[in-house]
A = this chain, B = another copy of it.
Amino acid sequence: MTFELKERDASGRICKFTTSHGTVTTPTLLPVINPNKMLIPPKEMRKRFGTEIIITNSYIISKDDRLRSQALEHGVHHLVDFDGPIMTDSGTFQSYVYGEVTVDPLEIVRFQRDIGSDIGTILDVFGTPRQTQAEAERGVKETIKRAKQSVPEKGEMLLACTVQGSVYPVLREYCAHKLSALDADFFPIGGVVPLMENQRYSDLVRCILASKRGLNPSKPVHLFGAGHPLVFPLAVALGCDFFDSSAYAKYAADGRLIFAWGTEKLDELSELPCCCPVCSHYTAAELRVLEAKERTLQLALHNLYVSFAEIKKIKAAIAGGWLWELVEQQATANPAVLDALRELEKPRNLTWLEQQEPTSKKTALFYTGRHTIHRPTLYRYHTRLLRRYHPSYSKTVILPEGNKPYSVFYAKEIRSILMKRDAQFLVRSHLGPVPVELDEMYPLAQSVFPETVDQETAQYVNALFEKYVRNRTILDFHKANKKITTKRTRKEPLNMDLLRISAVADMQFGKGAARALFSGELSIVKSKKTGKIRTVFCNGDHILSMRAEDGLFTLKIAGGRRLLRSFKRPSLRVVIADDAVPFVREGKSVFPQFVREADPSLRPFDECLIVDHQDHLVAVGRALLTRTEMQAFRHGVAVKTRESEQ
């Protein structure tokens, strides 16, 4: 099995998951195949929806003599006529629905192995939301015990060990942590169906986050029983990779259509609000008068078209960097999901989410409502602003409000006073305080906010602003021009470019980066077309380039040397094994297996220093994984090497 991270956004990711029956791109959906009654054959699913992996139930197969003997003789792939990866469930959910099941925890694992399941599931103990913590803990302990006993039985099969723990985050995290220590391959988050059935999405978020905190980040995570696209974007943003849908068939049999925003009854729809092949072929009235079996089939097809389209949308959102926008938009479909988003704002959760959040995206940040200001990207900006950026001025001029801070810089009036300043110039923007030097840096210039934000955002941002300017002398904007002119002592015009690169360097690499990088004779080259900074030379060395799209620096090896001298271990570093050094020196990327240590404050897409164990600079590059991920993943790329030390 390999599981390789290819793209990422929020705490979500696009991965390649390879089994002996082929490769699957996650996030994805496993349609549940009932071996007794295949509404849509798996092969047909592959053709229509691009289904790459399915799930069927080993408990049902094992309890039916005919299915059991067929599966044992010819394998589960033959039984359901699908040659791609097949996951099997163990009967845990049946035990939840129907009470005690007559199945032995180890027998069922062996059975799954013997019928050739690609991913077999342990018989975990379903934790219900009504359990007391003590009851839930007993279930968790039994689940862990069974997982331990199951591992030696798995053979070639990948083993899915389900995280339980009812609604108790501490138990979820504990269970996830214990299971991660085993030789397990796949981690479903179980016991969440009753939460989704009762729209307890806040609890669902708590369960997912606690489980993710305890899990090995390099292993696939499956939200067991989640088949409704309403929760897909949120669950993916929190790090879930797999979903399974029996809903497509159940809802179809019940005359219901699945949509991204919820479920609608065919009988209550005047029009089919959809363009899938089914809804393009039939009207609602035509579907209603179909013969029952055919109608169920058509509704099931619709349900899968919509569900897979949502998966594709999420993948497009991850690749494009708009997953949080999708999460927030989707949440407006259901007040209970809106409530659940508040969980993400809690400090512990936000801190965790910030760790995985990329430092730059391909798409602008769009405001959707009160949740937007609490996105990890903005939380990071606010935190770094308070901790990393300390201009030497004690005076501050607050510029008029504007939701596009970069535009003010070009206002003639402001430019004239900026040129002769000895105060910090600060924009009171919808995103928070923005020193004008930072106005081209992601996410400031790359944000689209409405002209008027909601009062809650305004209050939040205002409080941040007050915190930021506390203990500073505030000069009146309209009088600033005069005041600054009279008080100025320096004669040369102030260098706005130097201010800009210093501010960005400190925000991007940490406090003191500007001093480390820019000591010496500076030369700044700008784009002739846009007038924006392109490259920075110091003492003749090309140390940095500034990217036009996000206003952040690309680090060159000469800049890396300077940072290495000034920043102590482990800051900014990824320490690699000695045997990897020659390859990285040749420009090859750093694979996670060769990472020995890394700066825990590195974030995805951060520039970093690649060093050997003696802290000699080997190269500079772009981190694609966090430290935790680098230490966990066995495949893929940890750091994309940019320039090597010769």
Q: Which A positions have Cβ atoms within 8 angstroms of B?
A: 7, 48-50, 261, 264, 268-277, 279-280, 283, 305-306, 308-309, 312-313, 315-317, 319-320, 325, 328-329, 332-336, 338-339, 342, 362, 366-370, 448-452, 454-456, 459
- What is the total number of copies of this protein in its complex? 2
Of B315, B342, B448, the residue contacting A452 (CB under 8 A) is B342
**A5 vs chain B, min Cβ distance (A):** 15
Asked if A274 contacts B455 (CB within 8 A), the reply is no
Contact in complex: B320, A305 (CB < 8 Å) = no
- Residues of B with C-beta under 8 A to A313: 271, 273-274
Chain B nearest Cβ from A23, distance in angstroms: 15
Query: Is B329 touching A332 in the complex (CB atoms < 8 A)?
Result: yes
Chain B residue with Cβ nearest A320? B268
Q: Which 5 A-B residue pairings sit nearest by Cβ, starting from the closest? A: A273-B313, A275-B309, A270-B319, A455-B456, A335-B450
Pair A332/B332 contact, Cβ less than 8 Å = yes
In the assembled complex, the Cα of A225 lies from the Cα of B306 at a distance in Å of 30
Given contacts A268-B320, A332-B368, A338-B368, 11 further A-B contacts (CB under 8 A): A269-B320, A273-B312, A275-B275, A275-B276, A328-B332, A333-B366, A335-B368, A335-B449, A338-B369, A338-B450, A369-B454
The 28 listed contacts between A and B (C-beta, < 8 Å) are A7-B270, A50-B283, A261-B329, A270-B315, A270-B319, A272-B312, A273-B309, A273-B313, A273-B315, A273-B317, A276-B276, A279-B312, A280-B305, A325-B333, A329-B329, A329-B333, A332-B369, A333-B368, A335-B367, A335-B368, A335-B449, A336-B450, A338-B369, A338-B450, A370-B454, A370-B455, A454-B454, A454-B455
- Among A49, A274, A448, chain B packs the most CB atoms within 10 A around the CB of A274
Residue in A334, A368, A448 whose Cβ sees the most chain B Cβ within 10 Å: A368
CB pair B366 A334 closer than 8 Å: yes
Q: How far is the CA of A368 from the CA of B306 in the complex (A)?
A: 22
Q: A452-B342, A455-B456 are in contact. Are A269 and B305 (CB under 8 A)?
A: no
| CB nearest neighbor in B for A50 | B283
Smallest CB separation, A36 vs chain B (Å): 28
In the complex the two chains form, what is the Cα distance from A176 to B49 in whole Å?
49
Nearest to A280 among chain B residues (CB) is B277
Contact partners of A7 in chain B: CB under 8 A: 270
A456 to B457, CA, bound (A): 9
Tell me which residues across on chain B come within 8 A of A305, comparing CB atoms.
275, 280
Inter-subunit contact A320/B270 (CB<8 Å): yes
Instruction: Assess whether B319 is in contact with A271, with CB atoms less than 8 Å apart.
Output: yes
CB distance from A453 to the nearest CB of B (A): 9
- Complex CA distance for A335 and B364, rounded to whole angstroms: 12
The answer for the CA separation of A274 and B279 in the assembled complex, in Å, is 13
Report chain B residues within 8 Å CB of A271.
312-313, 315-316, 319
Alpha-carbon separation in the docked complex, A235 to B333 (Å): 20
Contacts of A320 on B, CB cut-off 8 Å?
A: 268-270
Of the residues B280, B319, B336, B338, contact of A48 by C-beta under 8 Å:
B280
Chain B: CB-nearest residue to A302: B275
Rounded to whole Å, the gap between the CB of A234 and the closest CB of chain B is 14
In Å, the complex CA distance between A48 and B275 comes to 10
Give every chain B residue within 8 A of A456 (Cβ-Cβ): 370, 454-456
CB distance from A121 to the nearest CB of B (A): 28
A350 to B352, CA, bound (A): 43
Residues on B with beta carbons closer than 8 Å to the beta carbon of A367: 335, 338
Residues of B within 8 Å of A339, CB to CB, are: 450-452
A449 contacts across to B, CB distance below 8 A: 335
Task: Give the shortest distance, in Å, between A450 (CB) and chain B (any CB).
Answer: 4
Contacting A369 at CB < 8 Å: which of B272, B370, B451, B455? Answer: B370
CB-nearest residue of chain B relative to A274?
A: B309
- Contact assessment for A306 and B455 in the assembled complex, using a CB-CB cutoff below 8 Å: no
Task: Please name all residues of chain B whose beta carbon is closer than 8 Å to the beta carbon of A332 when the two chains form the complex.
Answer: 328-329, 332, 368-369
Is A277's CB under 8 angstroms from B277's CB? yes
Residues in B neighbouring A338, C-beta threshold 8 A: 367-369, 450
Using Cβ atoms and an 8 Å threshold, which residues of chain B touch A452?
339, 342
Complex Cα–Cα for A367 and B332 (A):
8
Q: How far is the CA of A308 from the CA of B264 in the complex (A)?
A: 19
Q: Are A335 and B448 in contact (CB under 8 A)?
A: yes
Known contacts A333-B329, A369-B369; decide if A316 and B454 are in contact (CB<8 Å). Answer: no
Most chain B CB atoms below 10 A, which of A277, A312, A313, A456: A312
Residue of B nearest to A332 (CB): B368
Most buried by B among A261, A332, A362, A456: A332
| Nearest chain B residue, comparing its CB with the CB of A335 | B450
